[in-house]
Amino acid sequence: MNCETCQLKELELEPTEIRDVLRCILHTIFFHRTLSLVRPKDVDCDFLEITYVQCGLPELEKEVDEKIDQFTAWVEKHPNRRSQICLSFFDEKQTPSPKRYSKSNSSKGLTNIGANALEETSTRRAALESSVNEVLFQIINFANEKKDHIPAIPDRIFNHEIMIPRFLGLCCPGPIHSSRHLGGHLSSKLIPLILEDT
């Protein structure tokens, strides 16, 4: 398939962090690829000290939240698996030629709670914030470096599709990694791909 691919950094997350991080990354992608008029809205992450920008489109927010809910449910049913989310933007003139963004996410649950759990949590949280920041700047760089293929400015958001793991076996051409982690860790990783049709 002749499309551009942008691979974002893998992230390992706890189940409680999935929603926060997914919303942050997905909305950042949408904010860069929604060239129509938007109402930028600053949103603070619940668990991370990160503020991202939403487009201010209620329907888009609802769609993203629904997909995240589905993904979260999938993760709960399939622990210890790396999973992937693909965000695709479609050009109406060239169908089916999906442009895809996919993002990486993983959940990790800690079963051993010790005396240094809080310190480990804060350290880990800081590292996660740094990783998420890297991913966000990756999105910025990709969005600015790869924009020649973007069609004319539309009056609405581009056609898109958010594919969560249970659909990936049917349509996503990218690799799906599955691994099993021991030691009481739940882990699911998503390999981010941005595929754009040229």
Partner 1 sequence: MASLSYSAGAGGGGRAGAELMVPQFLLKALHAILAVRSPRPHAPPPPAASAAFRRRDRWFHLPLHDPPPPPAAEHLPEPSLGEPLVVDVYLAPSGGGPDEVLERWTVACEPWPSPAAAAAVGEGLAVNRAYKRCITLLRSLYAALRFLPAYRAFRTLCPSGQVYNYEMGHRVGSFATPFSRAEEAAMRTKRLAPVETQLGRLVVSVQYLPSLAAFNFEVTSLASAAIITDYVGSPAAERMRAFPASLTEAAGPPFPQPSRRPNSWASPAPWPHTLGQPAKFSPPPAHYASPTPSPPTFGYLHSRFSGETAPMSIPQAGGGRGTVHHRNMSEPSRAFMFSPPSPKNVRGEAGMQESPTETSRSFKRADGIRMGDLYANLPSGSKIKDSRDESGRFSGVFSSSGSPRLGFSRSSSRLSMHDDTDDADFPFAVDDVDPDSRPGSSGGKDTGDQAGSSSHKSQDAAVGYLVHLLKSARPLRDSSYSSHTSRGESIEAGSTSSFMSRRTSDALEEFESFKEIRENLLARSRSRLQDSLDKP
**Footprint of partner 1 on this chain (CB under 8 A)?**
28, 31-32, 35-40, 42, 49-53, 56, 133, 136-137, 140-141, 143-145, 147, 150, 152-153, 155
Q: How far is the CB of 102 from partner 1 (least distance, A)?
A: 19
Q: How far is the CB of 42 from partner 1 (least distance, A)?
A: 6
Q: How far is the CB of 26 from partner 1 (least distance, A)?
A: 13
d(CA 16, CA 26): 17
Q: Which lies closer to partner 1 via its Cβ, residue 25 or residue 172?
A: 25
Q: Which lies closer to partner 1 via its Cβ, residue 152 or residue 182?
A: 152
- Cβ–Cβ < 8 Å for 108, 185: yes
Q: Which lies closer to partner 1 via its Cβ, residue 50 or residue 176?
A: 50
DSSP state of 58: H
The CA-based angle 150-139-66, given to 5 degrees, is 90
Q: How far is the CB of 157 from partner 1 (least distance, A)?
A: 11
Beta strand pairing status for 98-105 and 83-90?
A: antiparallel
d(CA 130, CA 136): 10
